[in-house]
Amino acid sequence: MPTYTYACERCGEFERVQDMSAPALETCPECGAPVRRLLTPGSGHIIKGRGREAHCGSPSPCCGRAERCDKPPCGK
Ligand SMILES: [Zn+2]
């Protein structure tokens, strides 16, 4: 299960291991203050799958052209 990082208004940042299908926390389990989920670089679920996403970026574009196209997953 991936580890998510949350930022609590009072406690600061903390990590929480959650199932990917689990809803994001809205309040801090410690103090009950609102929290927001931070994007954790290297959480891995985009890079892990060596599918079409892996082709995008480098070295060759997924669309087979010399440059990236503007459609997903090349663009956005
Ligand atoms: Zn808190």
Q: What is the pLDDT of residues 20-40, one digit of tens each?
A: 899 999 999 999 999 999 976
The number of folded domains in the chain is: 2
Range of the domain at 63: 50-76
The pLDDT score that the predictor gives to residue 10 is: 95
Q: 43 CA to middle of ligand 1, Å?
A: 23
Helix then strand count (H, E) for the chain reads: 1, 3
Whether 12 and 29 map to the same domain: the answer is yes
Q: How many Å apart are CA 5 and CA 35, to the nearest integer?
A: 10
Q: 39 and 54 share a domain?
A: no
| Domain match, 58 and 38 both | no
Q: Does the global pTM surpass 0.85? A: no
Q: How far apart are CA 4 and CA 19, in angstroms?
A: 10
Cα 14 to ligand 1 centre (Å)? 9
pLDDT confidence of residue 70: 74
Both 39 and 24 in one domain: the answer is: yes
